[in-house]
Amino acid sequence: MPIDRKPEFFKGAQLKVGIIGCGYVGLPLALRFAEAGHKVTGFDTDPAKVSLLNSGKSYIEHIRQDKIQQFVNSRHFNATTDFERLKDVDAIVICVPTPLDERRDPDLSYVEQTAISIQPNLQRGQLVVLESTTYPGTTEELVLPILEKSGLRCPIAAGIASDNIPTDFFLAFSPEREDPGNKQYGLAQIPKVVGGTNPPSARAAQALYAQVVAKVVPVSSTRAAEMAKLLENIFRCVNIALVNELKLLASRMNIDIWEVIDAAATKPFGFMPFYPGPGLGGHCIPVDPFYLSWKAREYDFAARFIELAGEINTSMPGYVVQRTAAALNDEGKALKGSKIAVLGVAYKKDVDDPRESPAFTILEMLQKNGAVVSYNDPHIPTLPRMRHHPSLRLDSTPLTPEFLARQDCVLIVTDHSAFDYDAIVGHAKLVVDTRNATKKLGVKANVVKL
Ligand SMILES: NC(=O)c1ccc[n+]([C@@H]2O[C@H](COP(=O)([O-])OP(=O)(O)OC[C@H]3O[C@@H](n4cnc5c(N)ncnc54)[C@H](O)[C@@H]3O)[C@@H](O)[C@H]2O)c1
């Protein structure tokens, strides 16, 4: 008997939830649904991940193994590569990657492929939610037409007049706001924006998420929900570019930008501190804004803030290399032949995610200039193969006093808490600090703060 699912159905207990893409976003979400008592199946194209999950193992540092094991044991969570099993679930949540391609245009092939995998298995009354970050229009223009090839319909509609519009399945967009490693805000505490293709779809998705997050924030359409996520990330990208540019100016004016930001941040209203760095990293901030600037072209619109911020942020690794060369020059050394150890290759503090990390560009630039490079990252023992940096093949070198003393320069790119900055500055001849990580040590003759 086919299940007759109305939007209110998704308020129910023990729903069957399928999460497609068990990565940094999908896996925590799957575990959250399991924790709330639902029966969760994780779908992934990577058989290695599926087999690790089914044996209760984690491949993401901050996701606890015992949690996965607990839900596998209680049969609230299992994983599969068999997409036919999508037929059996009530709700399908898509958390697959949305990177940029070689030409830095949106690469929606993962989302498209996922929609193609769902289509032959789509059932009447199922709820499908896209969570992958993308440009406004993706859910309606890309996912919906593929799903409707099943013969089932989900009309695009808004407003009170369409409150009870007939729909064969429900389709919504709800952006993920995961901040890996953030101990203050986990998934359950972060409000979730939800937009439906039509009002019943919106209600179904709201009912589903209300079970696992503290607050659901409804918006009028999938496009508004898609744009909300991009606004959040563009806000960060532009503000980081602003402080990065001000850092370059402050440096010429012999002003410490870090001191300036700390001072400005004492204003209790109308200011939010952003910090300069060696360049943007992570799967979101360096990538997502360009989804919107790409889409803007369709409307004959140049998204200038996004392009300018991108230009400034992508120039930062070059600036770091140039300042490192200048610091070595002050010691009477050339970049060529100098031993340089990069500390931290993850894109941000205390995570094991190297995606888009500026450390890779910096390492490569240093290497091209003849430096003898090495790195240490307690979270990344071996550099993974990166699409844009295929020639970088290194293992993390232990930070012994002897190793530090042998280096001509130690370059802090990511300020992991595990680093003993006192010992690093104590043993190294020269330290270039791109993160103000050595702040607590005060002014040191061998530290150049960028
Ligand atoms: N990582 C974050 O902090 C973060 C935060 C907010 C939003 N997002 C967005 O969430 C989405 C997912 O990002 P992520 O960081 O979880 O990526 P990820 O690479 O960690 O995980 C994606 C998973 O999807 C799997 N996959 C790829 N193609 C598939 C397919 N066709 N079918 C099934 N599985 C497939 C991969 O094997 C992988 O396990 C992206 O759109 C990203 O922009 C990420």
Distance 94 CA to ligand 1 centre (A): 9
For 268, list phi and psi in degrees, rounded to 5.
-80, 0
Which residue lies with its CA nearest to atom 15 of ligand 1?
A: 24
Mention every residue, 6+ apart, whose C-beta is less than 8 A from residue 170.
7, 125, 126, 127, 128, 154, 196, 197, 200, 201, 204, 205
Cite the beta strand spans of 356-443 per DSSP E: 372-376, 409-412, 431-433
- DSSP class of residue 392? -
- Ligand 1 centroid to residue 95 C-alpha, Å: 5
Which residues make beta-bridge pairs with 448?
A: 432
Edge to edge, the sheet with strand 339-343 lists 372-376, 339-343, 409-412, 431-433, 447-449
- C-alpha distances (whole Å) from 369 to each of 281, 376, 431 are 23, 20, 19
Output the furthest CA–CA distance in the chain (Å, rounded): 80
The rounded average pLDDT for each run of 10 residues, N- to C-terminus, in the chain (450 residues) is: 84 96 95 97 98 95 91 97 98 96 93 98 98 98 98 96 96 91 85 98 98 96 98 96 97 96 97 96 88 96 95 96 98 97 96 92 96 97 86 93 97 97 97 97 94
Token pair in block for residue 96: 């697959």
**Nearest partner of 39 among 71, 83, 81, 4, judged by Cα:** 71
pLDDT value at residue 187: 87
CA-CA distance, 401 to 111, in Å (whole number)? 48
Please tell me the residue having the least CA distance from ligand 1 atom 1.
Answer: 24
Mutate to test the pocket of ligand 1, among 19, 25, 61, 233 (most ligand atoms within 8 A of CB): 25
Q: Measured between alpha carbons, how far is 265 from 360 in angstroms, rounded to an integer?
A: 31
Q: How far apart are CA 378 and CA 97, in angstroms?
A: 26
Q: Which pLDDT value is given to residue 230? A: 97
- Predicted pLDDT at 113: 98
Residues with catalytic function: 284
Which ranges in 331-420 belong to alpha helices (H)? 358-368, 401-406
Compute, in angstroms, the gap from residue 284 CA to the centroid of ligand 1: 11
Closest C-alpha residue for ligand 1 atom 27: 96
- Name the residue of 96, 109, 112 whose CB sits within 8 Å of the most ligand 1 atoms, as the mutation to test its pocket: 96
- Contact, 203 vs 171, CB < 8 A? no
pLDDT at residue 2, rounded to an integer: 63
Q: Which of 269, 21, 3 minimizes the C-alpha distance to 127?
A: 3
CA dihedral 362, 365, 370, 371 (to 10 degrees): 0
Look at residue 424 in the predicted model and tell me its pLDDT: 97
Cα(373)–Cα(262) distance, integer angstroms: 33
Identify whether the C-beta of residue 18 lies closer than 8 Å to the C-beta of residue 85.
yes
Ligand 1 environment, Cβ below 6 A: 20-26, 43-46, 49, 95-98, 110, 113-114, 132-133, 176, 178, 180, 283-284
Q: What is the pLDDT of residue 1?
A: 56
